[in-house]
């Protein structure tokens, strides 16, 4: 049966870029290059393979500022049919709960357009915050089952999806009623690399920008006003190496000094 699949993609600061911080400790995203969240690309690949196997349509959905559109074209080049960008100043400062609420409203809007949504897929986390909240929370807002750490989608038939889910020391096979939300792990799906023709074709694909009022979101439940938590400050991890230089004309004395320092740190070496 043809599947209508919504894939959630978050634009994030390029992990390879130098991150700059504002005086208040938040990331200066305006000065950073945005890319599609690497973890979400596994979900995009999973969705495209399902479309190739069963037919249907893959629609991307993101919540981000307007300037993130260029980053989203990366997944359009991979083969996503169309993209919906939820962008509104009132969404600024939303935590994961508020974000998942807005995204769930976006899914319902797409559902009204397509008639049904069979699967919502996303990466297991984002490279900038690594919370892993969005998939399960979107499932809760939609009132449908969600499965995290999905290694492989094995089968979709008779109103159910069968998945292989990673667990500690192995995996488990689950049969879940549709519609469902799947958080895809980066274990079995290798994101395809778009060709130049794909990149050029993505420029002709539509990115529909919608706001809070367009999808029926309660403004009091999003943004800083609707977020029970907020980022207070972020800072770089600093790794400081402990170094000492020993000098002595007597090699044996030099080695003894070195061994003594190791013993002070709780390290004992046998000669």
CATH topology of domain 3-226: Rossmann fold (3.40.50)
> How many other CB atoms sit within 10 Å of the CB of residue 243?
5
Alpha helices in the chain (DSSP H): 38-54, 69-78, 96-114, 134-142, 196-202, 223-226, 251-264
Q: How far apart are CA 119 and CA 166, in angstroms?
A: 19
The full set of domain ranges for the chain reads 3-226, 240-271
Partners of 11 in beta bridges: 36
Mean pLDDT by 10 residues, the chain (271 residues): 94 76 65 84 97 96 89 92 93 88 96 96 86 92 96 96 95 96 94 92 89 90 80 71 79 85 77 58
pTM: 0.81
What's the pLDDT at 226? 78
Quick one: which of 186, 180, 136, 144 has its CA closest to 162? 180
């Amino acid at each position: 049966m043809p599947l209508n699949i919504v894939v959630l993609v978050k634009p994030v600061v390029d992990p390879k870029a130098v991150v700059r911080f504002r005086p208040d400790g938040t990331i200066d995203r305006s000065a950073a290059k945005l890319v599609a969240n690497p973890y979400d690309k596994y979900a995009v690949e999973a969705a495209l393979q399902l479309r190739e196997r069963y037919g249907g349509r893959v629609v991307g959905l993101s919540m981000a500022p307007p300037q993130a559109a260029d980053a989203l074209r990366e997944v359009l080049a991979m083969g996503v049919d169309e993209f919906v960008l939820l962008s509104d100043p009132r969404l600024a400062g939303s935590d994961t709960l508020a974000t998942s609420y807005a995204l769930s409203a976006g899914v319902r809007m797409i559902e009204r357009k397509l008639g049904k949504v069979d699967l919502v897929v996303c990466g297991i986390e984002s490279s900038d915050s690594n919370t892993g909240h969005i998939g399960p929370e979107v499932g809760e807002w939609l009132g449908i089952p969600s499965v995290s750490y999905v290694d492989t989608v094995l089968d979709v038939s008779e109103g159910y999806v069968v998945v292989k889910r990673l667990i500690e020391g192995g995996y488990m096979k689950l049969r879940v009623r549709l519609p469902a939300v799947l958080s895809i792990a980066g274990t079995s799906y290798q994101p395809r690399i778009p060709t130049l023709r794909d990149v050029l074709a993505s420029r002709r694909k539509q990115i529909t920008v919608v706001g809070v009022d367009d999808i029926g979101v309660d403004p009091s439940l999003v943004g800083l006003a609707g977020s029970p938590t907020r980022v207070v400050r972020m800072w770089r991890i600093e790794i400081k190496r402990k170094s000492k230089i020993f000098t002595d004309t007597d090699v044996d004395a030099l080695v003894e000094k070195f061994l003594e320092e190791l013993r002070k740190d709780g390290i004992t070496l046998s000669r």
